[in-house]
C-alpha cells in the first residue's frame, strides 16, 4: 500500500523519475526513522528499551518484553513489542491504532501523523494514543529477523505463524503490561482493521468503539488468491519475488482511475511506460526495508482473518460486542479493489443483525484502498465522530461497573 502523503522532500524520487512518486505511507507505514533497516539485518533497530520501565507520552518508539506468548497453533515464543504512546497515561482515556501490512508502531510520527496529536482528531491533549508493531513485524517487535534464543540465529522461515487472533492477544498483553485497562476507540485499516475486530472481540467490555477501515469481517477468496500469487513469487524467486509481489500488491492498493490519471499511457525516457517504471521503483524500494519471511508471515495473518471462525459465524461472533455495548463503524472506500465497499457493508449488516450499534460510512476518493492514508479531512471527521461515541460508551461502562 502506498500513499501520496506530502511529507516527502521535493526531489527525493529515484533518478530519472518524471512522474510524482508518492511517499508510500500504507506500504511504508513503518518508515520510522529509528526503524529503517536494510533487508537481512537480524534485528531492526526500531525501538529502545526504557530503563525506567514502560513509557507513556514519550513521542518515540519504545520496546518492552512481554514474556512468552502462546499462539493458536500451539507454539509459543518469547516476545518483545515495539510501541509508541503519545498523550496522557492510563488515567486518561486511551486509543489504540493498528497498522496495516508493512507498518510500524510510529503512527503518530509517520503514517497517521495528520490525525494524531494536539488538537487533531485523536487529540493527545485529551487522550493517550497507543500503536504497536504487530507480531512478526519488521520494526522492533519479535519476528522472522529476530534472534531465536534456542539457536542464536534469526528465526527466518522457522518463525511460528501467528493469526489475527494472536495479534489481538499480544495487543492485550502489551496493554496489561502498560497498565491500560481498556480503549475508548480501537481503529485500524486493512490488516489493521482485521486485527481491530479481534482486539474488540477478545475483550468486548474493554472497548468503547471499534473503527474498521477498508477491511472485511473475513478474508475473501479474491484477496486470498492475490496473496497466494505473491507468496508463490517469493517461494520461486526469493527477494526478486518479493519485489514482484510488491508490484502486484500495488495494483490492488489504488484505483483504475487513479492509475489512469497519474500515468495514462505516458512513456519514460528509457521507453518504458510510466506505470511500469513506478511499479519497478516500488518493488525495489520494498527490498530496502523488508524481507521475504516477514512479508510471508504478515500476509498469512491476513489470510487467517475470519471473526466467525469457531464462533458460530460472523453474526454470532458480533453478538459479544452487542452484549458489551461496543459501537462499530465500518468505513468503506470508493473504488477500493482489494476490500471493496460491499465487503465493509456486509460486515456492518452482520454486526447490526447481531444487535451492535453499527454504522457504515464511506470515504469518497479516487485513490482506492490507500485512501485511509490519504484523505485526511474525511478521516478527521470520521475519527472525531467515532472517538466521541467511544468516550461516551466507555463512561457509561465505568459508571455501570462502579
Instruction: Give the integer Cα–Cα distance in Å for 199 and 214.
Output: 17
339 falls within a domain: yes
Instruction: Give the integer Cα–Cα distance in Å for 292 and 231.
Output: 9
Query: Are residues 217 and 314 in contact, defined by beta-carbon separation less than 8 angstroms?
Result: yes
Q: What is the pLDDT of residue 52?
A: 52
382 falls within a domain: yes
185 falls within a domain: yes
Task: Show the domain range for 82.
Answer: 33-222+299-401
CATH number of the domain residue 177 falls in: 3.40.50.1820
Instruction: Give the integer Cα–Cα distance in Å for 368 and 198.
Output: 25
pTM: 0.88
78 falls within a domain: yes
289 falls within a domain: no
121 falls within a domain: yes
286 falls within a domain: no
3-state secondary structure of 77: strand
Instruction: Give the integer Cα–Cα distance in Å for 302 and 290.
Output: 17
Instruction: Give the integer Cα–Cα distance in Å for 326 and 174.
Output: 21
Condensed to tens digits (0 to 9), the pLDDT of residues 196-251 reads 999 999 999 999 999 999 999 999 999 999 999 999 999 999 999 999 999 999 99
Ordered mean pLDDT values, 10 residues apiece, the chain (402 residues): 32 27 30 31 42 74 96 98 96 97 95 97 98 97 97 97 98 96 98 98 98 98 98 97 97 95 96 96 94 97 98 98 98 97 98 98 97 97 98 82 66
Reference 163, options 197, 112, 206; nearest CA is 197
* Residues in contact with 283: Cβ distance below 8 Å, sequence separation at least 6, in sequence order: 242, 243, 244, 246, 247
Residue positions annotated with a catalytic role: 190, 336, 369
Domain count, the chain: 1
At which residue does the C-alpha cell 472481540 appear? 201
23 falls within a domain: no
Amino acid at each position: 500500500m502506498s500513499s501520496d502523503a506530502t511529507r516527502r522532500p521535493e526531489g527525493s524520487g529515484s533518478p530519472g523519475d518524471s512522474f510524482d512518486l508518492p511517499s508510500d505511507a500504507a506500504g511504508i507505514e513503518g518508515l520510522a526513522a529509528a526503524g529503517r533497516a536494510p533487508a537481512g539485518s537480524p534485528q531492526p533497530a526500531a525501538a529502545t528499551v526504557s530503563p525506567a520501565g514502560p513509557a507513556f507520552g514519550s513521542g518515540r518508539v519504545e520496546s518492552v518484553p512481554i514474556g512468552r506468548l502462546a499462539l493458536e497453533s500451539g507454539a509459543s515464543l518469547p516476545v518483545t513489542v515495539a510501541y509508541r504512546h503519545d498523550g496522557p497515561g492510563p488515567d486518561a482515556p486511551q486509543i489504540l491504532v493498528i497498522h496495516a501490512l508493512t507498518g510500524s508502531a510510529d503512527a503518530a510520527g509517520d503514517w497517521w501523523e495528520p490525525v494524531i496529536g494536539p488538537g487533531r482528531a485523536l487529540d493527545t491533549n485529551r487522550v493517550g494514543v497507543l500503536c504497536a508493531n504487530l507480531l512478526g513485524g519488521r520494526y522492533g517487535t519479535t519476528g522472522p529477523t529476530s534472534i531465536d534464543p534456542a539457536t542464536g540465529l534469526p528465526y527466518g522461515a522457522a518463525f511460528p505463524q501467528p493469526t489475527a487472533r494472536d495479534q489481538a492477544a499480544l495487543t492485550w498483553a502489551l496493554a496489561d503490561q502498560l497498565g491500560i485497562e481498556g480503549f475508548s476507540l480501537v481503529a485500524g485499516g486493512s490488516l489493521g482493521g482485521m486485527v481491530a475486530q479481534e482486539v474488540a472481540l477478545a475483550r468486548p467490555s474493554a472497548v468503547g468503539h471499534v473503527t474498521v477501515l477498508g477491511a472485511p469481517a473475513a478474508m475473501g477468496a479474491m484477496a486470498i488468491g492475490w496473496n497466494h500469487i505473491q507468496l508463490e513469487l517469493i517461494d520461486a524467486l526469493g527477494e526478486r519475488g518479493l519485489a514482484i509481489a510488491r508490484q502486484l500488491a500495488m495494483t490492488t492498493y489504488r484505483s483504475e482511475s487513479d492509475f489512469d490519471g497519474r500515468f495514462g499511457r505516458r512513456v519514460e525516457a528509457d521507453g518504458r511506460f510510466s506505470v511500469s517504471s513506478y511499479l519497478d521503483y516500488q518493488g525495489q524500494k520494498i527490498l530496502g526495508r523488508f524481507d521475504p519471511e516477514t512479508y510471508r508471515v504478515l500476509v498469512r495473518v491476513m489470510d487467517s482473518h475470519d471473526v466467525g471462525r469457531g464462533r458460530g459465524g460472523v453474526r454470532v461472533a458480533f453478538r459479544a460486542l452487542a452484549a458489551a455495548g461496543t459501537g462499530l463503524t465500518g468505513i468503506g472506500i470508493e473504488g477500493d479493489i482489494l476490500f471493496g465497499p460491499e465487503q465493509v457493508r456486509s460486515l456492518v449488516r452482520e454486526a447490526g443483525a447481531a444487535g451492535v450499534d453499527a454504522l457504515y460510512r464511506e470515504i469518497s476518493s479516487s485513490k482506492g484502498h490507500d485512501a485511509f492514508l490519504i484523505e485526511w479531512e474525511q478521516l478527521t471527521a470520521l475519527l472525531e465522530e467515532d472517538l466521541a461515541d467511544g468516550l461516551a460508551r466507555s463512561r457509561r461502562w465505568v459508571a455501570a461497573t462502579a
